[in-house]
C-alpha cells in the first residue's frame, strides 16, 4: 500500500466521519483532503477553504496548534479519536520532531456524506453506485453541481469499456454525448484550416471530461479524442447533459449587471473569433477565441471573477462551463454582444501624429505599444508642417491621434484616455479613489515636464536656479508619494501614470548625466521607478532613433543661447 493509501486507511480507521466511508469511497473524496508534512522546528500555516469550520487531523507524529477553537496545545496521531481540530480562518502548526497532518474541506465532506446518505436510502444502491457518485462529485464537471443533480447523473450515465487506439469522437461530426474519463488516458487531436495534418493538443486522464463545447453550441466536434490505453468512460446523452450539467453549472447575469461588474474591475473575456471582435467589441475586453480557451486557463486567476461574452450566448455558455470545471469563477453575460445595450467599439485605424522630440506625444506612443494596439506613427518636421496640419490641430501642437483617417483627437491626456478605453489591458486601477489619484499625479507629471522645459529655455542662471528649485521640491513630493508604492506607480500594474512619467524620467536621466540636476540617492523610490520604466520595451521603442540625439537637438532648438545650453556645452 502506497503512502497516500496508507493515510486514507488511517483516516477510515480512526476518525469520524471517515469511519462511515469505505476505503474506495474515501479515495473518491480525495479533492476534499490535503496532506502536509511539517518538518521539525518549522511553523506551517493553513487557511480554511470556506466560511464554515474546516478540520485538521494528525496522521503521523505529534504537533502543536495555535488559533484553534478548542483548549489543546499538542496533539498526537490518533489521540483525539473522533474529535477533529476545528478552525475557521487560519491555523498555525509547529512540531518538535515531525508530523503529517490532513486538512479537510468540511463543506465538501458534507456533500459527500449527503451523496452517501442518498445512496444509502435508495433501495437499489450498492458500493459501486456510491463510488460512482463520489467519483462524479470529485470531477471538475460535477464539483459545483447540487447533490441531487449528481445523483441523477450517476443513474443516467452509461459506463462503456474502451481499448487502446479506440476513436471516441471524431472532429467535424455531430455531437450527441458528453464523456467523463473513468480510467485510462486519451489524446486530443485537432486539425485547423492551415494545418497539413492533425496536431495533438492535449492529454486527458482520469476525471477529465470532453464533448461539452459542441453540445452547448450545437456545432460539430472541434477535435478528435483517441484512447492511448485501455480504459473506461462514463457517457451522458445530450438531453441528460443539458438538463443536469449545462443548465445548473452556469451562472449568468444580465448585461446591466455585467456592466456594473465590469466598471468595478471584473474582466470580460470575449470568446468569439478575431474577425467578429474587430467589428464590434466591449472596450477593455480580452479576446480569447473558444478553440484557444483551454490553452489560456493557466494564465487566469482562480481568485478573480471573469465575465464571458460571445455573439448571442451559445459559445460563452460553453466557455463558462469549461472555465468553471477548471475552478475559474466564470459568469455568462446573457444574450452576448447582440444584447449589449451599452457602447461598443470596433478595431480602429489609428495614426499618432507627433514630433520626435515631444514628450507629450511620446506618452501616446508608449501607451499604444504597451497595449499592443495596431497603429501608425507619423513624425512631422515642425519647421515644414504640411498644409493639413492646422486643420487637425486647433492649437498647432502635437500629439494628434487620427482615427480611421478622418476623426482627430488632440491633447495627450485625452488621447491616452482613449487608448485606455479601447485597450484589453487595465490602464487605471478599478478603485475610484485610486483612479482619481492617478489622474491627479498625471497632471503633476505634466507640470514637472513643463519645469524641465523651462530650465532648458531659461535665459540666465537666476531664472534657471529659480525653476530648478521648484523642480526639486516637486521631485521630493513625488518621492513621498512613492514611499509605499512600487515597482510602478500602481504596484505591478502599468498605468497611464507610468506612460506619463517615462518621457520625463528619460529626459531627467539625460540631463543628470551631463550636469547636477538632482542626486539620485536623495530620491531612491523615484529612481527605482524610473529605472523600471526605462527598461520596458514599450518605452525603449517609443522613439524612432537615438533618444540622446533627439533630445540634444531639442535642447538646441528650445534653448537657443540660454543658460543651460551653454552649461551643457551643446552647440
Q: For residue 517, what is the DSSP state?
A: S
**Does residue 56 contact residue 35 with C-beta atoms inside 8 Å?**
no
- Distance of alpha carbon 123 from alpha carbon 559, whole angstroms: 94
- Which residues have a Cβ under 8 Å from the Cβ of 109 and sit 6 or more positions away? 17, 29, 32
**Nearest Cα to Cα of residue 143 among 369, 302, 368:** 302
- Distance of alpha carbon 56 from alpha carbon 157, whole angstroms: 35
**Does residue 178 contact residue 249 with C-beta atoms inside 8 Å?**
no
β-pairing, 167-169 with 231-237?
unpaired
Q: What digits encode the pLDDT tens for the residues 529-545? A: 999 999 999 999 998 87
Q: Which of 19-28, 154-163, 206-215, 427-436 has the lowest mean pLDDT?
A: 19-28
**With bands split at pLDDT 50, 70 and 90, how would you rate the model's confidence at 173?**
very high
Q: What digits encode the pLDDT tens for the residues 255-279? A: 998 998 988 889 999 999 888 888 8
Q: What DSSP string runs through 145-180?
A: S-HHHHHHHHHHPEEEEE-TT-EEE-TTSBP-EEEE
Q: Cα 491 to the chain's mean position, in Å?
A: 16
Quick one: CATH architecture of 156-244? Sandwich (2.60)
Q: What is the mean predicted confidence (pLDDT) over 245-252?
A: 73
pLDDT the model gives residue 470? 97
- Distance of alpha carbon 308 from alpha carbon 330, whole angstroms: 7
Backbone dihedral angles phi then psi of residue 85, each to the nearest 5 degrees: -90, 120
Residue 351 φ/ψ region, left for φ over 0, alpha for ψ in the -120 to 50 degree band, beta for the rest: beta
Q: In terms of C-beta density within 10 A (0-12 exposed, 13-18 middle, 19 or more buried), how is residue 293 classed?
A: buried
pLDDT at 144 over 90: no
Query: Which are the catalytic amino acids?
Result: 310
Q: Which three cell numbers stand for residue 336?
A: 452576448
pTM here is 0.51
- Distance of alpha carbon 300 from alpha carbon 87, whole angstroms: 29
Q: Which of 16-30, 208-222, 546-560 has the lowest mean pLDDT?
A: 16-30
Name the 3-class secondary structure at 536. Answer: coil
**Nearest Cα to Cα of residue 375 among 367, 383, 385, 387:** 367
pLDDT the model gives residue 77? 65
Q: What is the mean predicted confidence (pLDDT) over 469-494?
A: 95
**Does residue 318 contact residue 246 with C-beta atoms inside 8 Å?**
no
Q: What is the mean predicted confidence (pLDDT) over 61-90?
A: 66
Q: State yes or no: cis peptide before 60, omega within 30 of 0.
A: no
pLDDT the model gives residue 471? 97
Output the CA–CA distances (angstroms, integers) from residue 171 to 167, 211, 221, 223, 225, in the order listed. 10, 11, 5, 4, 8
Backbone dihedral angles phi then psi of residue 385, each to the nearest 5 degrees: -75, 145
pLDDT at 108 over 80: no
Q: What is the mean predicted confidence (pLDDT) over 238-242?
A: 87
CATH class for the domain made up of 3-113: mainly beta
The reply to whether 350-422 shares the fold of 250-339 is no
Q: What digits encode the pLDDT tens for the residues 131-142? A: 677 778 777 777
β-pairing, 90-94 with 43-47?
antiparallel
The secondary structure of the chain in percent helix, strand, coil, rounded to multiples of 5, reads 45, 20, 35
pLDDT the model gives residue 360? 96
Q: Which residue pairs from 545-554 have beta carbons closer than 8 angstroms and sit at least 24 positions apart in sequence?
A: 545/356, 547/506, 547/510, 548/510, 550/356, 550/357, 551/357, 551/506, 551/507, 551/510, 553/357, 554/357, 554/456
**With bands split at pLDDT 50, 70 and 90, how would you rate the model's confidence at 405?**
confident
pLDDT at 477 over 90: yes
pLDDT the model gives residue 207? 83
Beta-bridged to residue 307, according to DSSP, are 268, 331
State what percent of residues in the chain have pLDDT above 90.
41
Q: What digits encode the pLDDT tens for the residues 278-293? A: 888 898 888 999 888 9
Better pLDDT: 193 or 554: 554
- Distance of alpha carbon 4 from alpha carbon 27, whole angstroms: 9
Q: Which of 77-81, 220-224, 308-312, 347-351 has the lowest mean pLDDT?
A: 77-81
**With bands split at pLDDT 50, 70 and 90, how would you rate the model's confidence at 184?**
very high
pLDDT the model gives residue 25? 64
Domain 432-568 has CATH 1.20.1050.10: yes
- Distance of alpha carbon 299 from alpha carbon 306, whole angstroms: 13
pLDDT the model gives residue 52? 58
**Does residue 64 contact residue 115 with C-beta atoms inside 8 Å?**
no
pLDDT the model gives residue 162? 96
Q: Which three cell numbers stand for residue 567?
A: 552649461
Q: What is the mean predicted confidence (pLDDT) over 448-475?
A: 94
> Can you give the residue ranges of every domain in the chain?
3-113, 156-244, 250-339, 350-422, 432-568
Could you give the strand order of the β-sheet that contains 407-410, starting from the edge strand earlier in sequence? 376-379, 350-354, 400-403, 407-410
Q: Which of 91-105, 197-211, 410-424 has the lowest mean pLDDT?
A: 91-105
Q: Cα 378 to the chain's mean position, in Å?
A: 34
Q: Which three cell numbers stand for residue 215?
A: 453540445
pLDDT at 120 over 60: no
**With bands split at pLDDT 50, 70 and 90, how would you rate the model's confidence at 83?**
low
**With bands split at pLDDT 50, 70 and 90, how would you rate the model's confidence at 480?**
very high
pLDDT at 341 over 60: yes
Neighbours of 491 (CB within 10 A): 12
Q: What is the mean predicted confidence (pLDDT) over 454-468?
A: 93
CATH class for the domain made up of 350-422: alpha beta
pLDDT the model gives residue 232? 94
Q: What digits encode the pLDDT tens for the residues 7-43? A: 777 777 777 777 777 666 666 565 577 888 888 888 8
**Does residue 148 contact residue 243 with C-beta atoms inside 8 Å?**
no
**With bands split at pLDDT 50, 70 and 90, how would you rate the model's confidence at 237?**
very high
- Max distance between CA atoms of the chain, in angstroms, equals 100
Q: What fold, for 250-339?
A: Oxidized Rhodanese; domain 1 (3.40.250)
**Nearest Cα to Cα of residue 306 among 326, 281, 292, 276:** 326
pLDDT at 111 over 70: no
pLDDT the model gives residue 130? 66
Four-CA torsion 523, 525, 528, 530, nearest 10 degrees: -80
Amino acid at each position: 500500500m502506497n503512502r497516500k493509501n496508507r493515510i486514507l486507511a488511517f483516516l477510515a480507521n480512526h476518525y469520524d466521519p471517515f469511519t462511515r466511508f469505505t476505503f474506495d469511497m474515501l479515495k473518491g473524496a480525495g479533492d476534499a483532503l490535503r496532506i502536509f508534512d511539517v518538518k521539525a522546528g518549522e511553523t506551517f500555516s493553513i487557511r480554511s477553504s470556506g466560511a464554515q469550520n474546516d478540520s485538521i487531523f494528525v496522521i503521523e507524529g505529534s504537533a502543536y496548534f495555535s488559533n484553534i477553537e478548542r483548549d489543546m496545545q499538542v496533539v498526537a496521531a490518533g489521540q483525539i479519536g473522533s474529535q477533529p481540530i476545528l478552525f475557521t480562518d487560519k491555523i498555525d502548526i509547529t512540531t518538535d520532531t515531525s508530523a503529517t497532518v490532513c486538512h479537510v474541506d468540511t463543506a465538501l465532506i458534507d456533500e459527500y456524506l449527503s451523496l452517501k446518505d442518498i445512496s444509502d436510502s435508495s433501495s437499489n444502491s450498492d458500493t459501486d453506485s456510491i463510488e460512482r457518485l463520489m467519483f462524479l462529485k470529485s470531477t471538475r464537471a460535477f464539483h459545483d453541481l447540487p447533490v441531487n443533480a449528481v445523483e441523477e447523473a450517476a443513474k443516467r450515465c452509461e459506463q462503456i469499456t474502451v481499448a487502446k487506439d479506440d476513436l471516441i469522437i471524431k472532429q467535424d461530426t455531430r455531437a450527441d454525448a458528453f464523456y467523463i474519463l473513468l480510467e485510462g488516458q486519451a489524446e486530443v487531436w485537432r486539425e485547423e484550416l492551415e494545418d497539413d495534418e492533425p496536431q495533438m493538443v492535449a492529454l486527458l486522464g482520469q476525471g477529465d471530461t470532453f464533448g461539452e463545447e459542441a453540445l452547448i453550441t450545437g456545432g460539430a466536434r472541434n477535435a478528435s479524442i483517441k484512447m492511448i490505453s485501455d480504459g473506461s468512460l462514463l457517457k451522458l446523452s445530450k438531453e441528460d447533459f443539458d438538463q443536469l450539467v449545462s443548465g445548473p453549472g452556469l451562472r449568468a447575469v444580465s448585461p446591466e449587471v455585467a456592466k456594473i461588474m465590469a466598471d468595478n474591475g471584473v474582466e470580460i473575456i470575449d470568446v468569439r473569433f478575431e474577425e467578429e471582435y474587430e467589428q464590434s467589441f466591449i472596450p477593455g475586453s480580452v479576446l480569447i477565441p473558444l478553440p484557444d480557451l483551454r490553452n489560456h486557463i493557466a494564465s487566469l486567476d482562480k481568485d478573480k471573477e471573469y465575465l464571458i461574452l460571445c455573439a448571442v450566448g451559445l459559445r460563452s455558455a460553453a466557455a463558462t462551463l469549461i472555465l468553471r470545471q477548471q475552478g475559474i469563477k466564470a459568469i455568462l453575460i446573457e444574450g452576448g454582444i447582440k444584447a449589449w445595450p451599452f457602447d461598443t467599439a470596433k478595431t480602429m485605424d489609428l495614426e499618432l501624429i507627433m514630433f520626435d522630440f515631444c514628450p507629450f506625444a511620446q506618452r501616446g506612443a508608449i501607451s499604444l505599444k504597451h497595449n499592443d494596439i495596431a497603429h501608425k506613427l507619423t513624425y512631422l518636421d515642425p519647421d515644414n508642417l504640411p498644409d493639413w496640419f492646422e486643420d487637425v490641430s486647433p492649437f498647432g501642437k502635437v500629439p494628434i491621434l487620427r482615427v480611421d483617417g478622418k476623426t482627430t483627437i488632440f491633447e495627450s491626456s485625452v488621447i491616452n484616455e482613449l487608448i485606455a478605453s479601447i485597450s484589453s489591458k487595465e490602464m487605471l486601477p478599478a478603485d475610484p479613489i485610486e483612479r482619481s489619484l492617478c489622474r491627479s499625479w498625471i497632471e503633476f507629471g505634466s507640470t514637472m515636464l513643463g519645469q524641465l522645459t523651462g530650465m532648458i529655455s531659461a535665459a540666465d542662471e537666476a531664472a534657471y536656479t529659480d525653476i530648478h528649485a521648484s523642480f526639486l521640491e516637486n521631485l521630493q513630493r513625488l518621492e513621498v508619494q512613492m514611499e509605499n508604492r512600487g515597482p510602478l506607480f500602481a504596484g505591478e500594474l502599468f498605468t497611464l501614470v507610468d506612460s506619463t512619467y517615462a518621457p520625463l524620467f528619460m529626459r531627467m536621466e539625460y540631463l543628470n548625466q551631463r550636469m547636477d540636476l538632482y542626486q539620485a540617492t536623495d530620491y531612491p523610490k523615484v529612481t527605482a521607478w524610473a529605472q523600471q520604466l526605462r527598461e520596458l520595451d514599450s518605452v525603449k521603442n517609443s522613439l524612432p532613433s537615438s533618444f540622446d540625439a533627439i533630445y540634444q537637438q531639442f535642447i538646441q532648438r528650445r534653448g537657443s543661447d540660454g543658460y543651460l545650453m551653454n552649461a551643457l556645452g551643446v552647440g
